[in-house]
Structure 1
């Protein structure tokens, strides 16, 4: 009887222990599946962890033929981060997935895709796959393709073409072959959002942000790609890549409102990925929703902080084409805040964001194209808001950088005009002219823009300011028109290549010359592109009032007052 009791007691303890282990295992599975804990499951993996599962990177999944739940989760995170343009973190996530399912071909596919080119890298003139790691990864995918199902084989063989320099030694031929293959893939799997997004990406990499001409007409293929994205987004509105690409495709069009659907939903899809959180601002600044642009960029900065805290000490492998990461995204968000605040007339916020954006460029990055532009943007904010004393007090810059030197001369010359020192302004204009006569400047570029074009615009603008101050309105108007002609040649980029539309100057000069109707046309043209721009709304109101169109003038003034409600500067004309 005693032995029976002891056996029963031991049996109950064992049963309870088994039940407890089952419950713990189930709880861990639930938590890990939900992405709530950045730890590994009971699945075994060798070596040091390369990544963690970060809550807030989204829920979009692309099931692959793996038996490892953890490998699937890291693959999904890597793919989502690739669509979110955080490539080092995406690569690390795929590396972690390989620890749980070594040799799975689709994980190598995801890694190769993350390491390859994107529209931004091509726009910036960066070399594709500079370390050869994408080629290694896609080669590994092909070597293990016997583990793939039929759809996975199609995806792998399609992406292989992007990197196959043996079959297509010329990049242009490789691009076209890959575009054709990606289009065929999207047609074969017409309900697959990744296939549609790959097709869009293939076209947009070739287009390098040049998807519309200056009149708003689509380039070849743009309409087809836009239709493909819109169609797939009706089926899968939660796809981060399709929404991201849709914004980039439409932002430079004359109908950016078409991108609002993607802009309004994108943040919620990956709320801890700062670049994805920021991306709606590319549409918001184009449609004149500047408050939303500022707020969403502030949230993107907070998202990056949270992501980095969750990521901890895990690596950021910079072995692909484009290095954008949560570690370095902040200055881009700050420059959007700077631009939107400028349009709203808020100097304090604009200069703070401008300085933070410039301060975020450290080391060699400080003198890169982006670093130089962010440095010069501080002077441009001071100039736009008439902060002449502060502008004159700014330090000079190394003579090795003609873009920076030229804009320092331009803004200093404008400050001399502002304080009434026309001789000083003319001296700066002469210095700028000498710079433009140097043949070496013809080969210098700042991003995709020729430095000579930027400084020629600066020269025309400063020449116009001097002539206007001297009372030569005809000469000033001609100079401003020349500046606008140059400004309109710049390729699209956000924030714009030139921080202050020269139409603000031309419109003000035309009003001073009693040419109100011409001024109205100038302001309306600016507002067609820079919607709800406070500076041009004020000028438009003045031009309508001067024509006796008081009702329309009042409407424009009310719009201006709405945009200007947080401003710290009062306008008397459309530029200071």
Structure 2
């Protein structure tokens, strides 16, 4: 047998191909396209949306999974849509429309889509398909047609015309109508759209027949996005109700409400999206980086929460992004859209907006913000901390941050041999441009430094170059300098630039009051109260306004009239989000481990409590790539243990075969090898292809508390040892922060926050903004 060969020779074996040897372990028997995508079993899920997409089948379960997959396609839940179709194919493997569905689910991967479509076409040759099903295959084939002279525009038009044919012949096919509207909108990116109103009427014809069709609501929001978002308000209010179990159905209305500057409604939708994602991820053991728009939604949620004054939740969401697992392929320090980078940005912005200077410096000093070494990140770091030092009146510390920004300026030697851009008529090299935002950040911090010196004229001149300076911050400085009318003008400008945001609205109330503009200040307060219904009452600026309200009441008995509850469509369709899922992601508990190694020692997961654990699932001694992985990790076992972690490997082989591998006499395996011939552990950890009943490679990082912090399940083994070592060190830092102090509550990892009662994100009992109530401002 292969596993009895010398291990060194095993590693030199060629990769198997279907022509000469059996497929390598972990590879699908159905072809390359089936290696990727979901390989764990699917099921009928709640809240996916209601559609009726009949196909030729004798199975009610296949039809139900088909309907579910189509509904998921309409909401761009492509990974789960493919799983629905794959699950149905375990029942009817010869049904062509199931492979059509798999191709539809790979709209962002043309290579895989073509391979699935080829399978569908092949199976269609011996199947009895309806005219409608044949037209769907033809339409999709036009989208992926290849050949000389065929370009993307030809493909898009072919897809559109194919859908038009279905609509013309089958007037009751609502899904074809919805997709036709989608394609008309998508094609507009390249070819323009003839009539947005005509496409909207096409969508309405679907909603007339099925008022909760998920695709129709989805495409209407996209159609009017940043064009005339008021046209999509009804769909924005109903989309999440149409598909409540899919996060994207919650997310998309956030576009509509954000564009209309209705940030409370936007944050509600984005929070719902986050909570649905987290419920799904906990249930199905999904890592955050596996969801393509996860970072986008959650950073946007943190931004929207900040605009509405829900600072505690904004920080919780942003910090959660910073602390989440990384992946060497899907996010890293250089990725501008990584969850960690976006989380740091939104966390710092939230603290700056509401003057939480002590908290900002605590997060900076403790390493919680975890800034990367990238220049853009170092710019944000120095700028944010510099603002905090300026507000606290710390000139020496502010000087250090100014110096840090100056270090990021282009050096003189970088001016040499800089080529002018194409079309530039100037002569000689051009100096390199500084980082975007660097000059503005430097101007603002230097302006603050001049304020501390008392040179106000020079300070305001320097602020003139600080394009990114918050207008309300400048307004407050102008007020302190006695330039009252300028301060009022800047405060009004702040509200105009950041319409319907709590921080500038609150600043305007303060500045108008200080300027003696009583009637204007009270009107500004009423505007603030309407926007800040959900704001945290203990924000510094709201506490100051509480004192202003007390002054008004003492002066002439003025009190704000009672505030009417909201009764618009969006408000009427709200649900209790605490019942949807948790606000933030947290690592899920590892499954039990109990196995015997080659020395006869029993290993249980609880034996490793208090230490991080690396678990490698490998596909036996026959797998050459597995041997490569075991050797790579063995060579670095001391470095792994230096982080305080242990490492074990679990094999598909029996104990005697595993013992023969361990005692091979040529290659040393530095970790215990545990036999699992019955695949009990592989099944518990979902390192299985359920569709083909075969084990898969798996790499898991389990923290000292027994929770999974990272996982990679694939047809290929995970070989990036350097990433594992780096991530183990980061896990140690996260676990060590549970007791780190912070202003406000405590600066803890989000796992600890999730375990506390009254955690951020709980909407039950939220008092909202009621500044007329004497209890406001007394803390929580």
Pick from 541, 555, 558: which aligns with 1:571?
A: 541
Q: Matches of 2:434 and 2:79 in 1, distance apart?
A: 33
| CA gap 1:224/1:519 in 2 versus in 1, 3 angstroms | farther
Corresponding position of 1:409: 382
With 355-364 and 546-555 compared, the bigger mean Cα shift is at 546-555
Q: Larger % of strand: which?
A: 2
Greater relative contact order (Cα 8 A, min sep 6): structure 1 or 2? Answer: 2
Deviations 1:316-339 (A, max 9, x none): 9x9xxxx964xx776555434422
Q: Which runs of 5+ in 1 are unaligned?
A: 1-47, 118-127, 212-217, 443-451, 484-500
Q: Relative to 1, partners in 2 of residues 1:165 and 1:517: Cα closer, same or farther, differing over 3 Å? A: farther
TM-score scaled to structure 1, two decimals? 0.68
Decide whether the 8 Å contact of 1:510 with 1:518 is kept in 2: no
1:243 aligns with 2:217: yes
Match of 1:561 among 529, 534, 538: 529
Structure 1 contact 54–307 (Cα < 8 Å) conserved: no
Contact 1:74 1:94 in 2 (8 A): yes
In 1, Cα distance between the equivalents of 2:502 and 2:404?
30
Could you tell me whether the CA contact under 8 Å between 2:311 and 2:536 is conserved in 1?
A: no
Query: How far did residue 454 of structure 1 move?
Result: 11
| Offset from partner CA, 1:184-237 (integer Å, 9 cap, x none) | 6667766643223323433554567x99xxxxxx97765554443344334432
Pair 1:237–1:468, CA change in 2 (3 A): farther
Change over 3 Å in CA distance of 1:549–1:219 after alignment to 2: farther
Identify the match of residue 403 of structure 2 among 413, 422, 427: 427
Question: Which residue among 132, 138, 142 is the counterpart of 2:117?
Answer: 138
Contact 1:410–1:459 (Cα < 8 Å) also in 2: no
Structure 1 residues 340-397: Cα deviation after superposition (integer angstroms, max 9, x where no partner): 2211223322111111122234222441332222333323333333324235425464
| Residue aligning to 1:522 | 493
Partner of 1:58: 49
Superposed displacement of residue 52, structure 1: 1.0
Q: Distance in 1 between matches of 2:194 and 2:403?
A: 48
Distance change >3 Å, CA 520–CA 504, structure 1 → 2? closer
Q: Deviations over 1:414-440 (max 9, x none)?
A: 334333434334313313333899699
What SS does the aligned partner of 1:349 have?
helix
Mapped contact 1:409–1:432 kept (Cα < 8 A): no
User: Which protein has the bigger helix share?
Assistant: 1
> 1:193, 1:242 within 8 Å by CA — same for their partners in 2?
no
User: 2 CA distance for matches of 1:50 and 1:81?
Assistant: 16
Residue 32 (structure 1) aligns with: none
State the SS of the aligned residue for 1:566.
coil
Aligned pairs (5 A) from 1:342-491: 342-364=306-328, 365-367=330-332, 368-371=335-338, 372-386=341-355, 387=357, 388-390=360-362, 392-393=364-365, 395=367, 397-399=371-373, 401-420=374-393, 421=395, 422-434=398-410, 455-467=435-447, 470=450, 471=456, 472=458, 475-476=461-462, 478-480=464-466, 482-483=467-468
Deviation at 1:137, TM superposition (A): 1.7
Seen in structure 2, the aligned counterparts of structure 1 residues 538 and 180 have a Cα distance that, compared at 3 Å, is farther
Give distance in 2, aligned partners of 1:503 and 1:200: 42
Give secondary structure in 2 for the equivalent of 1:456.
Answer: coil
CA RMSD of superposed structures (Å)? 4.3
- 8 Å CA contact 1:346, 1:569 repeated in 2: no
Map of 1:79 onto structure 2:
70
Q: Is the 8 A contact 1:88 1:324 kept in 2?
A: no
Distance 1:397 1:516, change over 3 A: closer
TM-score of the superposed pair, with normalisation by structure 2: 0.51
Change (3 A) 1:569 1:72: same
In 2, the alpha carbon distance for the partners of 1:260 and 1:454 equals 42
CA contact (8 A) 1:238 1:269 kept: yes
Aligned equivalents of 1:297 and 1:407: distance in 2? Answer: 25
Higher Cα radius of gyration: 2
Give the number of aligned pairs: 466
Return closer, same or farther for 1:305/1:382 CA change in 2, 3 Å cut-off: closer
d(CA) in 2 for partners of 1:259, 1:473: 46
Gaps of 5+ in 2: 1-38, 420-431, 451-455, 546-780
Q: Counterparts of 2:205 and 2:152 in 1: how far apart (Å)? A: 30
